[in-house]
Every structure is written in structure tokens, then in C-alpha cells.
Amino acid sequence: MPDESLLKNIFGLNLSELESLFIAESIEKFRAKQVFKWIYTKSVRTFEEMTDLSAKMQAELSSKFKIGSLSLIERQVSSDGTKKYLFSLSDGNLVESVLMCFSDRDSLTACISSQIGCAVKCPFCSTGTLGFRKNLSSDEIIEQIQFIQNLEKLRVSNIVFMGQGEPLNNYDSVIKATRDLGSLIGIGARHITISTSGVVPQIEKLAEEDLQVTLALSLHDAENEGRDYLVPINTKWKIAELMQSMKNYVKKTNRRVTIEYVLLRGLNDSNEKAIALGKLCADLHCHINLIPYNQSCSDSEFQRPSNNRIHYFSMLVKQYSKGKTVIVRKEKGHDIKAACGQLESSYRT
Ligand code: SF4
């Protein structure tokens, strides 16, 4: 067995880079196209799986190269079919991804991470408690999808940047990954959602990218006082400025945005909060997702509201938002720590 650490990682090279590398290693150039197709179209992660290569060629490639830098540390499967993955990067950092299946549709949605830790430090979020550690490269972002497709022998249809990290604080890598996901893996921007806590300058920049992604805003409170606490980035960019940037995004892209609102008992689930949320969204081309807090961490100080409260809250939001679509998101992976950062945090020392 070759020493893994000496093998060159070819995941993330574009076709011409791979061809140049093969030529430099005295491997026929046309092999690069074969290998490239296996990696991205068929999500293969070992040369042994490339059945149109001879055993000799497979052995030669395996002695020089490896495909990807992630290794799987843990895979959990929820009773509802949600799967959660904990990966280790080559530098030992841990990163999470989640695969969600919905009984009412065929599509599979992967929730992926863009950073290790997060500087925004939302108090209810496990990733936030870690603080910011590092940005993922675009390759490390894409590899989460490729790894899942290889492991589960399926194709992911939709991607949401709602895992660990604030994607717009890792702007260049996230945009590159979004473009590459289309050209390499075949998942177009229309099937990708970027969820932000409200990095106003980057929302404005994203509007200029000519990308058909869905933009989601994690609002969580429609009033500055409450939002300063729940989403501390709000102390920098207040709600009025944030909502103006969301309206600009809609105007520029002609795309409906999504407002995400995690429901926390006693904090942001009152009738007044529902009315404030409805009024704030009334003039925005959006739909509203209410997400009851995922209470799979029994020691969390935060709690999910009762079903009655969730129902009444959603009714008020609909009424005051001039009839916007309000969806109470089905909780996925309730039993496997599927909320962002929860699995990773159980490995922290
Ligand atoms: S909820 Fe999102 S933005 Fe807030 S700390 Fe967690 S990862 Fe960061």
C-alpha cells in the first residue's frame, strides 16, 4: 500500500490541469478524460472502480494519486431517513453534511458546510459556539456532495448551504463551488440555495453574479433588539438595511427569496413577534419557512414551542404578510443531531 500522505490529490483539478499532470507523469493524455468522467459524473473515489481501465493502469494511478481529501468519521441514519455525515479534512478539522429525503418528492437535498466554525456566533447554534476556524476551499465544498453520492450510490438533486458556517463570509469559494457544481457534478444554480445570516455587502455582490441561486435569509427575529441577540451580525447590519438589500436582490435577479425563522419558545414565538415578521415580509417577494428548533441536544437552554403555538404563529404571519406562503418546515433528523454543528460538537475535546 502506498503512503497516503505522499499521493497527489487530483480532486478539484479541471480537465486541462489533469491532462497536464498525466503527461508530466508519462500517462497517456486521453486517460485524463476517462478519469475525469468517473470522478465527477459517476462520483467514483478509487481507481479500482474505473472499470474501463486495465488493472495495470488502475495500479499505476493508485500508486501516484488519490481522489479527494475527505475521510468519513461517522454516518448516522435517522428514523425518518435523514442521513448525517461527519468528515475529517486532511488537516484534521471536522466538517458535517446532511442528506435529506422527503416522502412527498423524489428529490434528494444535501445540506453542506462552507466553513469550519462560524464567526457569527448565533447562541442557539452549535457551530457558533466554536467560533471561526477556517474557510473551506471550493474543492472541499464540492467533495462533500461527491462523497455522499459515492457512498449512497445515488444522485443529489438539490443543495443548500445551510451546514456549518456563513457562506457569504467565504464568498469566493462558495461562488466557485456553485459554478463548478453545475459544470462538474451537473447540479445547476437553480437547485442551489445559499443561506445567509445577513452579510449585507455580500448580498449586494451576489445580486450582480448572474447566478440563478435561491437566496435564503436566516432572520429569526423581525425586531433589532431580539435579532441583535439571536443573530449577532445584526449589530453590524440592522434589519432595515438588510431588508433593503434583500429587496435589491429580488429586483436585480427577479427571483423570490426565502425567509428562514427558527422558532424558539419564549424568545421569538409570541403573537407580537409573528405580527412583526408578517409585516416585515409583506412587501418582499418571498416565502417564509418557520423552523421549530431542533431539540436533539437535551442539555440545550433553548426549546421548541408547542405545536399549538407554532400553528397560531404561522397563521398570524400569513395574515400580516398579505398572504405569503408560510411553511412550517418538517423537522428532519430529530434523533440524530441533524441541526448544524451538533454532531461535530460531540467530537470536540
Ligand atoms: S446559525 Fe449559521 S450563521 Fe449562525 S452561528 Fe450557526 S452557522 Fe453561523
CATH of the domain at 310: 3.20.20.70
For residue 260, how far is its CA from the centre of ligand 1 (angstroms)?
12
pLDDT of residue 238: 98
pLDDT of residue 130: 86
For residue 326, how far is its CA from the centre of ligand 1 (angstroms)?
22
Rounded to an integer, what distance in angstroms lies between the CA atom of residue 199 and that of residue 203?
6
Return per-residue pLDDT of the chain as tens, 349 residues: 677 778 999 999 999 999 999 999 999 999 999 999 999 999 999 999 999 999 999 999 999 999 999 999 999 999 888 999 999 999 999 999 999 977 666 789 999 999 999 999 999 998 888 899 999 999 999 999 999 999 999 999 999 999 999 999 999 999 999 999 998 999 999 999 999 999 999 999 999 998 999 999 999 999 999 999 999 999 999 999 999 999 999 999 999 999 999 999 999 999 999 999 999 999 999 999 999 998 765 567 899 999 999 999 999 999 999 999 999 987 666 665 556 555 566 665 4
Nearest alpha-carbon partner for 175 in 215, 209, 208:
209
User: Which CATH number belongs to the domain containing residue 18 in this structure?
Assistant: 1.10.150.530
pLDDT of residue 273: 98
**DSSP category for residue 138:** H
What backbone torsions phi and psi does residue 325 show, to the nearest 5 degrees?
A: -70, 125
Q: What ranges in the chain are assigned the alpha helix state H?
A: 15-24, 30-40, 55-64, 138-152, 171-180, 200-207, 224-230, 239-253, 271-281, 307-320, 342-345
Amino acid at 220: H
The reply to whether 85 and 12 lie within a common domain is no
The reply to whether 156 and 18 lie within a common domain is no
Beta carbons of 83 and 75 less than 8 angstroms apart: yes
For the chain, the domain total comes to 2
The reply to whether 134 and 151 lie within a common domain is yes
The reply to whether 259 and 165 lie within a common domain is yes
Bridge partner residues of 132 (DSSP):
117
The reply to whether 41 and 108 lie within a common domain is no
**Among 20, 35, 66, which residue terminates a domain?**
66
**Among 22, 42, 66, which residue terminates a domain?**
66
- Which one of 113, 120, 227 would you pick to mutate in the ligand 1 pocket, going by the greatest count of ligand atoms within 8 A of its CB? 120
Cell numbers 453545475 label which residue? 182
The reply to whether 254 and 301 lie within a common domain is yes
Closest CA to ligand 1's atom 5:
128
The reply to whether 76 and 215 lie within a common domain is yes
Tens-digit pLDDT profile for residues 274-328: 999 999 999 999 999 999 998 765 567 899 999 999 999 999 999 999 999 999 9
Q: Is 52 exposed, middle or buried (0-12, 13-18, 19+ CB in 10 A)?
A: exposed
Rounded to an integer, what distance in angstroms lies between the CA atom of residue 94 and that of residue 141?
13
Amino acid at 50: M
The C-alpha angle with vertex 331 and arms to 329 and 335, in degrees rounded to 5, equals 170
CB of 160 sitting under 6 A from ligand 1: no
Number of alpha carbons in the 13 Å side-chain half-sphere of residue 131: 1
SS3 137: coil
Beta carbons of 311 and 44 less than 8 angstroms apart: no
Catalytic residues: 96, 340
Number of alpha carbons in the 13 Å side-chain half-sphere of residue 283: 6
For residue 130, how far is its CA from the centre of ligand 1 (angstroms)?
10
Closest CA to ligand 1's atom 7:
165
pLDDT of residue 349: 47
pLDDT of residue 126: 87
The reply to whether 103 and 57 lie within a common domain is no
Phi-psi category of residue 215: left, alpha or beta, with phi > 0 → left and psi -120 to 50 → alpha: beta
Cell numbers 498525466 label which residue? 22
Q: Which domain holds residue 205?
A: 71-345
Q: Which three cell numbers stand for residue 198?
A: 445577513
Number of alpha carbons in the 13 Å side-chain half-sphere of residue 155: 11
The reply to whether 143 and 263 lie within a common domain is yes
The reply to whether 24 and 52 lie within a common domain is yes
pLDDT of residue 5: 75
